[in-house]
Structures are given as structure tokens and as C-alpha cells.
């Protein structure tokens, strides 16, 4: 499988030689995941970090009232996993499910350590990725607290325009913090040009 999507993502932060690309490829495991398959379930320890070559994944948890809350979507060129569970080897609070038939790279902790050792510039790459992930999380919390439901929906569409066509509306609604019925009403208002705030 061609790893061009991965190399393009990596090149945004660091440049790799052909030898370094070969090392990356030798440590990555390519797996195919069928739609609705879970890569991680609540209570399991997250053993891998994943890079999405093709497809769409969703991270979510289920609260005490058995309501699903989507915390993240991941598409081509994105990394996903449960960092807390992965780093600390503790049971995950989250689930990761394929929303489409997907192809992903996966790295165990041992393989990532090998990568850092053999290609030290990957330490910088992952540090910058983690910084960006933290900033995105802070922005999401801030927007959630200070924006109306309609503003959150429009910000989501602007930031992730391709995701709306790839996942069920109920998952987008749970990511934004409201019901699928309410999201359906917002979509109708947007289509009609009747922007509510």
C-alpha cells in the first residue's frame, strides 16, 4: 500500500530522507478495518496509535444515561487513538469505531519508541502534533462555551466540510452537544437561508 498520505502529512512538519521513509514503513503495520468495526472499546487498553490512510473513524464515550458523546472524527491524513490509555496502559474511557471501510497504519508503543530511536526527528514531529491537538481541544472548549448552537454548527462545517457527508447526523449532533432532531432543524434553517443565532 502506498504511504503517500502519511508522507505528505509528515512533510508538513519534518523532511524525511528515502532511508527514513523506509524505516517508517518497516515499523508501520497496515490494517484494513470494515465499517462499524471497533479498533478500541471502553475498558480495553489502547495498544496502538493510528494514522488514517483511507476512511473515517470516530471516537466516542457512553455516559451513565447510555447516551453517546462523540469526541472526535478522524479522516485521511489524521492520527487518532486514546493517548491517556496508550501512554499509561490504563483502560480506555473511549471507543474508536470505523464509520467507513478504512485503511490505517498502526504503531505499538514499542514500534514508536523504535521510530524515535532510529529517526530522532519524529520526536519533534509528534511533539508538534500533540501541541496542535491540545490547541484544537482548547479552541473547541472555548467555542462550545461562548458560541450558540448554530454558530458551533457553522464553525464545524467550515473547519470540517467533508465530514458532514461521511458520517450520520446523529454523530455530528453529539459532537456539537445537541440532539439529532435539533441539528436537523438547524440544517433546514441553513438551507433556507434563515440563519438563527
pTM confidence score: 0.89
Residues 6+ apart with CB under 8 A from 8: 77
The answer, yes or no, to whether residue 143 has pLDDT greater than 90, is no
User: Which of 178, 164, 57, 42 minimizes the C-alpha distance to 106?
Assistant: 57
pLDDT of amino acid 144: 79
Look over the chain and give the mean of its residue pLDDT values, rounded to a whole number.
92
Share of the chain above pLDDT 70, in %: 97
Report which secondary-structure segment, H or E, holds 192: helix 180-192
CA distance 144 to 153: 10
The answer, yes or no, to whether residue 1 has pLDDT greater than 60, is no
Tell me what the mean pLDDT of segment 171-180 comes to.
Answer: 91
Tell me what the mean pLDDT of segment 107-135 comes to.
Answer: 95
Q: Which of 58-72, 131-145, 178-192 has the highest mean pLDDT?
A: 58-72
Residue tagged 462550545 (cell numbers): 144
The answer, yes or no, to whether residue 197 has pLDDT greater than 70, is no
In order, the DSSP letters of 1-30 are ---HHHHHHHHTT----HHHHHHHHHH-EE
Summarised one tens digit per residue, pLDDT across range 8-63 is 999 999 999 999 999 999 999 999 999 999 999 999 999 999 999 999 999 999 99
The answer, yes or no, to whether residue 194 has pLDDT greater than 80, is no
C-alpha cell at 74: 478522524
Burial of 39 (0-12, 13-18, 19+ CB in 10 A): buried
Q: What is the 3-state secondary structure (H, E, C) of 47-81?
A: CEEEEEEECEEEEEEECCCCCEEEEEEEECCCEEC
**Looking at 56-70, 111-125, 127-141, 180-194, which range is the least confident one?**
180-194
Q: CA-based Rg of the chain, rounded to a whole angstrom?
A: 18
Bridge-based pairing state of the strands 68-75 and 102-108: unpaired
Report which DSSP code applies to 45.
B
C-alpha cell at 132: 496542535
55: alpha, beta or left? (left if phi > 0; alpha if psi -120 to 50): left
Query: What is the rounded end-to-end Cα distance, in angstroms, of the chain?
Result: 46
pLDDT of amino acid 195: 57
pLDDT of amino acid 137: 86
pLDDT of amino acid 187: 85
Amino acid at each position: 500500500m502506498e504511504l503517500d498520505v502519511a508522507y505528505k502529512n509528515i512533510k508538513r512538519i519534518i523532511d524525511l530522507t528515502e532511508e527514513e521513509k523506509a524505516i517508517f514503513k518497516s515499523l508501520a503495520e497496515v490494517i484494513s478495518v470494515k465499517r462499524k468495526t471497533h479498533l478500541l472499546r471502553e475498558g480495553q487498553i489502547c495498544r496502538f496509535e493510528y494514522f488514517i490512510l483511507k476512511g473515517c473513524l470516530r471516537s466516542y464515550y457512553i455516559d451513565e444515561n447510555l447516551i453517546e458523546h462523540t469526541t472526535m472524527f478522524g479522516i485521511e491524513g489524521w492520527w487518532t487513538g486514546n493517548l491517556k490509555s496508550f501512554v499509561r496502559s490504563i483502560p480506555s474511557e473511549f471507543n474508536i469505531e470505523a464509520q467507513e471501510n478504512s485503511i490505517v497504519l498502526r504503531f505499538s508503543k514499542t514500534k514508536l519508541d523504535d521510530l524515535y530511536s532510529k529517526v530522532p526527528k519524529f520526536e519533534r514531529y509528534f511533539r508538534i502534533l500533540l501541541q496542535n491537538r491540545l490547541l484544537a481541544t482548547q479552541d473547541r472548549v472555548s467555542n462550545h462555551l461562548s458560541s450558540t448552537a448554530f454558530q458551533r454548527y457553522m464553525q464545524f462545517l467550515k473547519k470540517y466540510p467533508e465530514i458532514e457527508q461521511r458520517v450520520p447526523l446523529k454523530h455530528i449532533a453529539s459532537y456539537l452537544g445537541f440532539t439529532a432532531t435539533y441539528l436537523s432543524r438547524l440544517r433546514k434553517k441553513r438551507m433556507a437561508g434563515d440563519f438563527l443565532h
